[in-house]
Structure 1
Amino acid sequence: MLNVGCGPGFDAELLRKRGHKVFGVDLCWKMLQLSRKHFPGSFVEGDSGDCHFARLLMAFG
């Protein structure tokens, strides 16, 4: 599951605990440092437009 704008990783961790394999991407390297420090998983700095996934689920708020 691609977590776009993953920030400090809170949502990615919630999804991981629910059994999903999560790939987090964010433009802010400082947020990625926090997510990598506190949570397991794959977090990379970059633009979500460069990521290719089979399905899309969007949630805001």
Structure 2
Amino acid sequence: MLRASDLRDGKVVWSSELPAGPQATPMIYQWDGAVHVTLTLGGLKADGEIGDYVVTYRLSSNRNQ
């Protein structure tokens, strides 16, 4: 799972199930007015299949803030 928490109270405000386990430190960056996080995922999944992924989430847009 990837979870985003509110810095003020620590409550989870968003989560997403990942298709495989993370293999490196996430990369967080700002592009096109929004914050993104990119993860490399891989290894054996629960069903025994091998999973290799690069996943990026767009977390927020600064245009409306």
User: What TM-score do you get using the length of structure 1 for normalisation?
Assistant: 0.25
Which of these two proteins has the greater Rg computed from alpha carbons?
2
Question: Quick check: which one's strand share is greater?
Answer: 2
Higher relative contact order (CA 8 A, sep 6+): 1
TM-score calculated relative to the size of structure 2 = 0.24
